[in-house]
Amino acid sequence: MKTLDYSGALIWSDRWRLGALKNYELINIALSSVLIGFLFVLFHIFGNTVENVNRSSAFVWMVSRWSDKQSFGADYSHGFLIPFVSLAVLWHRKRDIKLAPKKICLWGLGIIAMALAFHWLGAKMQQTRISLISLILLLWGIPLYFFGWKLAKILIFPCSYLIFCVPLNFLDALSGPLQMIATSVAYNMLTGLGIECQRVGTQLISPFFQLNVEAPCSGLRSLLAMTALSAVYAYYTQKSFVKKWLLFIASIPIAVAGNIGRIISIALVSITAGQQFGTGLHHDWSGYVLFSLAISLMIGFGKILQINYKESFLKWKKVYLNRS
C-alpha cells in the first residue's frame, strides 16, 4: 500500500507559523501590513474623486474607466492585466530581490514626500490620474528608503509598467489624429491599387463600399495594447538600454500600420465578398488577425535588434578570408 508523504506540507506549514518566524521577519510582516493599510486608506477611502462614480476611491474610479465600454474603457480594458504582469516580473526577479544588498537610502524620503505632495495636489484639483501616478511613485519610493538603491533598481520596470493602468486624458486626444492618418494612408493605398475611391473626412466612399473610420476604429486601443506588450518584450529580450527603447518606440508605427492594414482589408473584402460581409464578420475578426501580425512584426524587429552585427561581420570576414 502506498503511503502519502506529508513532510513537505508540514515543513511549509511550520515555516509560516508566527512562532517559527524570526524577529526581523515578524517586523517586516508588521511593517508591510501597516504600509498596505496606509496606502488603502490614502487611495481608497481618501482617493479624492467623485467623478462619474459616487465613491472617493481612486481604485474604484480606475476600474470604472477600464470597464466603461461607452467611453474610455474600450481603450483601457487592458488595464486589468497590467498589475498581474508587474507581479509576474517581480516573481521572476524574486531571487535578485532576495540577494540585493539592503540598506536605508534617504533619497527614498524625497520620493515619498514628492509622491504625497502629488496626491495632495491631485486631491485639490480633483485629478485622480495625478493621485494614481503618486501611488506608483510611493510603491517605488518606499522600498528605496527601506532597502536601498540596489533593490529599488530592480523595481524600476515593474513599478513603471503600472503607468499603463492609468487612463490618461491626453491619450484620448490622439484618437482624432489617428483616424485621419489611417483614413488618409488607406485612401492613398487603395487609389494606388487602382480602386475607385473618394475620401470625405474619415469616410472612404466607393461604388463598392462605404467605410466610416470612427473613433473605436482609430487604432488607439491596439496602440496602447501594443506598447504595453512591447515594453515587456523589450525588457526581457534586449540587453542594451537604447535597444529596449528603440523596440518600444518601434511598436507605435507597427500598431498604426496594423490598423491601416485592417481598414484596407475591410475595403478589399467588401469589394470581393460584399459590403455586408466586409463590414460585418470580417470587420469583427480582422482586428485580431492584424494585431497578431503586428505582434509578429514586433517580435521580428526584436530579433533583428538582438543580432550582434560586429560579431557576425567578423565571422563572415573570417570565412571569406579562409575561402580566399
> What is the pLDDT, as a whole number, of residue 20?
57
- Over residues 242-271, mean pLDDT: 91
Indicate if the pLDDT at residue 86 is higher than 90.
yes
Looking at residues 193-221, what average pLDDT do you find? 84
For residue 202, the SS3 value is coil
DSSP 236-267: HH--SHHHHHHHHHHHHHHHHHHHHHHHHHHH
In Å, what is the CA distance from 162 to each residue of 63, 87, 132, 258, 298?
Answer: 14, 10, 10, 25, 21
Q: In a 3-state reduction of DSSP, which class is residue 203?
A: strand
User: What is the reported pLDDT for 276?
Assistant: 84
Cα separation, 177 vs 181, in Å, equals 6
pLDDT value at 17 more than 80: no
Instruction: Supply the pLDDT for residue 16.
Output: 47
With beta carbons less than 8 A apart as the criterion, state whether 153 and 176 touch. no
Q: Compute the average pLDDT of residues 244-257.
A: 93
Mean pLDDT of the 299-322 span: 78
Q: Is the pLDDT of residue 28 over 70?
A: no
Beta carbons of 163 and 133 less than 8 angstroms apart? yes
**pLDDT score recorded for residue 307:** 81
Give per-residue pLDDT as tens, 133-167. Answer: 988 998 899 888 888 899 999 999 999 999 998 88
Structural contact between residues 132 and 51, judged by C-beta atoms closer than 8 angstroms: no
**What pLDDT score does 54 carry?**
54
- C-alpha 196, offset from chain centre: 39
Distance, in Å, from the CA atom of 219 to the CA atom of 106, rounded to the nearest integer, reads 44
pLDDT attached to residue 239: 87
Whether residue 15 is predicted with pLDDT greater than 80 in this model: the reply is no
| Closest alpha carbon to 186 in 294, 83, 262, 102 | 262
Instruction: Report how far residue 220's alpha carbon sits from residue 217's, in angstroms, rounded to the nearest whole number.
Output: 8
Of 75, 81, 146, 80, the C-alpha closest to 108 is 146
Lowest mean pLDDT among 7-16, 44-53, 204-213, 241-250: 7-16
The Cα 260–Cα 181 span in angstroms is 9
Q: Look up the pTM and report it.
A: 0.81
The three cell numbers of residue 276 are 455586408
Low-confidence winner among 16-20, 85-89, 271-275 (lowest mean pLDDT): 16-20
**Predicted pLDDT of residue 199:** 87
| Per-residue pLDDT, 84 | 93
Q: Higher pLDDT residue, 260 or 322? A: 260
Strand stretches in the chain, DSSP E: 198-200, 203-205, 210-212
More confident of the two residues 307 and 72: 307
What mean pLDDT is predicted for residues 169-193? Answer: 86
Closest C-alpha to 154, from 86, 58, 90: 90
7 pLDDT more than 70: no
The whole-number average pLDDT for the span 60-89 is 78
- Please state the rounded mean pLDDT for residues 28-50: 71
Residue indicated by cell numbers 535578485: 96
| Ramachandran bin of 126, using left for φ above 0, alpha for ψ from -120 to 50, beta for the remaining angles | left
Cα-atom radius of gyration of the chain, to the nearest Å?
26
CA 182 to chain centre: 23
pLDDT, mean over the chain: 81
